[in-house]
Amino acid sequence: MESDPIGLSGFGKSQINNSKSTTSLRLEMYGSLFDSADDAIYILDKEGKFIMVNKGAEKMYGYSLEEFIGKTPADVSAEGKNDLEYVSQRLEDAINGIPQQIDFWGVRKNGEIFPKIVKLYPGVFKGEKVVTAFAIDITDRKRAEQEIEKRLVYERIISKINQLAINPGEMNLFINQCLNILGIGLQVSRVYVFKKDYEHNTISNTHEWVKGGILSQIETLQNLDCEIYRDWMDELQENRVINYSNISSVTNATVRELLSQQQIKSILVVPMFVAERFDGFLGFDECDDHRNWEDTDVTLLKTVAQIIANSIDHYISVQRLVESQRNYKTLYNLLRSISDNLTDMLWAKDLNKEYIFSNKAICDNLLNAASTDEPLGKNDMFFAERERQKHPENNQWHTFGEVCQDSDQVIIDSKKPGQFDEYGNVKGAFLFLDVHKAPLLNENGEMIGIVGSARDVTRIKAIQQKLQESEDKFRNIFQSVSDGVVYVDRNGKILNINQALLDITKLKKEKIVGRNAILLVKELISFSQIPSILKKVRLALKGHSIEPFEIKYDSSYLEISTSYDTQSKNITGIIRDITKRKKEEEELSMYREKLEELVKARTSELEAKNKELERFNELFVGREFRIKELKDQIRELKKQID
């Protein structure tokens, strides 16, 4: 190894001319480089003492050249941070010609500890073996490495907690696992969760992890009055962080005393919001030393708080969903039970007109389905074709809906409810349905299908047809009967009047129907008759039974009688023209009077003759009685003689 006059072999070696001028220039150049280098350069003798340092070394440690000379690496070593025996061995190896590199923790004159990398090269200084050391302060790099390592630790923590959050299971267990990961990963004294009770305005410690040797506080921190800690609660509810490296800085004396009782020296707390509502907080306690909480600590705690809050929110949502599903099942079973016990048909279809719900009535009475589940995903045509295929010999077996409009499409197009008459043969028998359909909407008001109900009105339709026939027959009778007929409702309003009454009264139907019956009475009778007739009409309108009565209308005589319908409360009035009968009655009365006069005359004549007859009768009857008495006396005398 070539001799280096000033021990700077680390700068590179080259042949140095023996000329004095060249050597001098080079020495001057080396000296300039030695002092101008930013890195620290030391020259140590074989005993490990500093015999020369550059300006960089003075700046690194804060010692002057004079203070450096004579010191050893042990004198500038951070206590407990280096293996000095190992350092000494590496110096010896370098003296012996083997370059070395070591990590070394130095301590500056002001007491600050810092890391550096030292490269050791063998050299010669003034004819003696020396070590030339190049040192680089790696404080920033170490800090960056520590930050990276810390970030890796935090990422592992987040990763583990995220893995747990994928399927958290029982929520209390999940939260406790999260606190355990945080506590161990960050090496804090306590990790905890507090939850707010809005009903009682209190806050309680619900979950806690503590390091070994640290007292648990969960039992005592229950139902704390939020008003006492209002300033902290306000801060947290505003989504602010509580960060104290020294609790002596806490201004609220009550809070400070509470923290002191728990041996807390430093505290970090972040809020938790569940479904955008303040739910409580997640926090760290440091009880051993004061701890400056870095931004990464705050970020980590916020992140975990958000994960836990999201998991709680998800858990609540799942529980609500489970409860909703339970309620849905209960309601569905209730709907199923109700719908299957209805005689009316109920169903729902999607926009493809395929069934998504059907009750027992439609399955049994229209579709002929095996169960209420069979129609799901099928349309009406499926069941119609199946029924027709079962009875190919009878083309009237299933004709239902063949001549009816596509009412499903009507509802889809109009998006409005509708009523439809649908009919045809089902199982060979005629079926008439009164059908009601309406759009099926989702929660956004979008149409997703059709709901429908149908009532079997076959019998009602048959009755209605018979009733119509009866009404037609009655109407014919009503119009053809010779007596006048009028229908009046409970309020006295004329509902209908037949042609016979129009002929009798010579009135127009359009001027009568809809008017009050009292006005009709006034049209028919003279002024003098009005009070007594109106009284009868009013009694009839109230449902009282009244005897038929007569009125004189022009040259005609009319007889009026009424009947009261107790169900409809309507009155039927019969107006009969009795003019002919009246004339016949008058003629009969005249004949009766003449007969009575004739009878009276004949009676007087008969009475006279009868008296004369009675006189002769008395005469002859008296004589007969006398003869009988004489005969009786003769018979008695004869008996005496004998």
Tallying the residues shown for the chain, one arrives at 642
CA distances to 50, 53, 443, 478 from 137, in Å: 18, 15, 67, 124
Please give the share of the chain, as a percent, with pLDDT higher than 70: 88
* pTM of the predicted structure, to 2 decimals: 0.50
CA distances to 88, 603, 610, 614, 622 from 600, in Å: 181, 5, 15, 21, 32
Q: How far apart are CA 222 and CA 267, in angstroms?
A: 19
DSSP class of 229: T
Residue carrying structure tokens 């070590």: 131
Who's near 449: CB < 8 A, 6+ residues apart? 348, 349, 350, 351, 356, 439, 440
What pLDDT score does 120 carry?
Answer: 95
List the end-to-end C-alpha distance of the chain, in Å, as a whole number.
228
Average pLDDT of the chain, as a whole number: 85
Q: Which residue has the higher pLDDT, 195 or 480?
A: 195
What pLDDT score does 17 carry?
Answer: 44
230-249 pLDDT, tens digit per residue, is 999 999 999 999 999 999 99
CA distances to 6, 154, 201, 202, 448 from 441, in Å: 95, 49, 42, 44, 6
What pLDDT score does 3 carry?
Answer: 40
The domains located in the chain, with CATH, are: 9-137 (3.30.450.20), 145-319 (3.30.450.40), 373-463 (3.30.450), 481-577 (3.30.450.20)
583-612 pLDDT, tens digit per residue, is 877 778 887 888 778 778 777 777 777 776
The answer to whether 185 and 153 have CB atoms below 8 angstroms apart is yes
The stretch 60-79 carries a mean pLDDT of 93
110-139 pLDDT, tens digit per residue, is 999 999 999 999 998 888 899 999 999 988
Q: Which residue has the higher pLDDT, 566 or 21?
A: 566
Q: 171-186 vs 139-166: helix axis angle to the nearest 10?
A: 170
Q: DSSP characters for 354-378?
A: -EEEE-HHHIIIII--SSSSTTBT-
The stretch 85-104 carries a mean pLDDT of 94
Asked if residue 165 has pLDDT above 80, the reply is: yes
Joined together, the tokens standing for residue 348 give 């729902």
CA distances to 199, 255, 421 from 226, in Å: 12, 11, 68
445-455 pLDDT, tens digit per residue, is 999 999 999 99
- Estimate the share of the chain in helix, then strand, then coil, as percent rounded to the nearest 5: 45, 25, 30
Torsion angle of the four alpha carbons 241, 243, 249, 255, in this order, in degrees rounded to the nearest 10:
60
What pLDDT score does 511 carry?
Answer: 78
Asked if residue 499 has pLDDT above 70, the reply is: yes
Q: Which residue has the higher pLDDT, 614 or 469?
A: 469
Q: How far apart are CA 431 and CA 433, in angstroms?
A: 7
What pLDDT score does 477 carry?
Answer: 74
Q: How far apart are CA 635 and CA 641, in angstroms?
A: 10
Q: How far apart are CA 305 and CA 314, in angstroms?
A: 14
The stretch 144-153 carries a mean pLDDT of 82
What is the pLDDT confidence band of residue 32, given thresholds at 50, 70 and 90?
low
Asked if residue 363 has pLDDT above 90, the reply is: yes
Asked if residue 642 has pLDDT above 90, the reply is: no
Please give the share of the chain, as a percent, with pLDDT higher than 90: 52
288-317 pLDDT, tens digit per residue, is 999 999 998 999 999 999 999 999 999 888
Torsion angle of the four alpha carbons 370, 374, 378, 381, in this order, in degrees rounded to the nearest 10:
0
